[in-house]
A = this chain, B = another copy of it.
Amino acid sequence: MFTVGKQLPGTLGRTGVLSTPHGDVRTPAFVPVGTKATVKAVLPEAMAELGAQALLANAYHLYLQPGADVVDEAGGLGAFMGWRGPTFTDSGGFQVLSLGAGFQKTLSMDSTTATADDVIAPGKERLAHVDEDGVTFRSHLDGSKHRFTPEVSMGIQHQLGADVIFAFDELTTLMNSRGYQIESLARTQRWAERCVREHERLTQERADKPYQALFGVVQGAQHEDLRRQAARDLRPLGFDGYGIGGAIEKERLGEITSWAVSELEEDKPRHLLGIGEPDDFFAAVEAGIDTFDCVSPTREARRSRVYTRDGRFNLLQARFKRDFTPIDETCDCYTCTHYTKAYLHHLYKAKEYLSATLASIHNERFTVRLVDDIRASIEDGTYADVKADVLARYYAS
């Protein structure tokens, strides 16, 4: 299901093609996120038009609403949301702990501030509990109690029916002690084994459905020996590909990712979960990452922030009131070829829906195109030039 193309000399990077029952994904590729079976404010046709090759949705959110059984009855995630191309779902492992527990946003914090194994938002009751069998958590929507185990996550993801699904893992943070990381990693390994068994059982039971590729998730936080061990331990389980998950400091993204990747099979695809800034893509591609997903393009758009090759800016700034040029003269997206910054500024001031729609289309196009350009540059041997040019321009301001 994955064909390696051209190598990026002197690195772990490469191009490739990820084949799924709903079409191919040429890699490296950015996979836009449609958390609740919708890319926020953007129709699926617009996502296809801007070059999205696949979309990623969220098992935790879709389990709570509308329920994975509803999506199954609808014919699976793609049919439910009107997206014909390949789909991914994550396992819910991240969300049951990060949303359910009311975690502080500490995943990328400086590890020198780490103090405790149990990270709880001040004044909030702990809403999630991890034991050997799984995670008990409370819904962030209504506080109702739920339980995810590896088997439950596989069941949900089979009902959602995405082409690429992920093993259920335990999320740790940079604030957890090394001792806890070791303990957690051993549990994630046992959960991975259970995910594989349940996936095989469900694949047989639902033999009429298109094949779903299962990716194992490499944890291990900031520890080289743990990351490498985790990757080596997953290999015998026969996963179709891998996700690199958990807490990664931005400054060490390439280094930490490369530890895991260098222990994995070359002919299997590697997905980096939740990463989406320009410099991250270059670091991760060099470390051997094939696909990315991130909510940043739409989240930033809703905050009136747009990406350009010359940096990011906020469309609510007063200087755009009479700026009758597009967000980016060189951008080929629907928004830049049809609307001015003055119009977008107005839509944000007026709190109109189309502000999010138009800026999201632009930001998704920016991100998809940037990773497409990285792929093209590996293919034609201009990677170093493209990287130097993009980073110099984007981070100049």
Q: Which residues of A contact B (CB under 8 A)?
A: 36-38, 40-43, 61, 65-66, 70, 73-74, 80-82, 321-322, 324, 338-340, 342-343, 345-347, 349-350, 352-354, 356-357
- Whether B346 pairs with A66 at a CB distance below 8 angstroms is yes
The winner among A70, A340, A346, A357 for most chain B CB atoms within 10 A is A346
Q: List 25 A-B contacts (CB under 8 A).
A: A36-B352, A37-B343, A37-B346, A38-B350, A38-B353, A40-B353, A40-B354, A41-B353, A41-B357, A65-B346, A65-B349, A65-B350, A66-B342, A66-B349, A66-B350, A70-B322, A70-B342, A73-B342, A74-B324, A74-B340, A80-B342, A80-B346, A82-B339, A353-B357, A357-B357
A343 touches B74 (CB 8 A): yes
Looking across the interface, which residue of chain B has its beta carbon closest to that of A360?
Answer: B353
Return A363 CB to nearest CB of chain B, in Å.
15
B-side contacts of A343, CB under 8 Å: 37, 74, 80-82
CA distance A383 to B70 in the complex (A): 43
| Set of chain B residues within 8 Å of A43, measured between Cβ atoms | 354, 357
Q: Does B350 lie within 8 Å of A353, measured CB to CB?
A: no
State A73–B322 Cα separation when bound (angstroms). 8
Contact of A321 among B38, B40, B70, B340 (CB under 8 A): B70
State whether A342 touches B40 (Cβ < 8 A).
Answer: no
Q: Which residues from chain B contact A80 at a C-beta distance below 8 Å?
A: 340, 342-343, 346
Closest 8 CB pairs of A and B: A41-B353, A66-B346, A36-B350, A82-B338, A38-B354, A38-B352, A65-B349, A65-B350
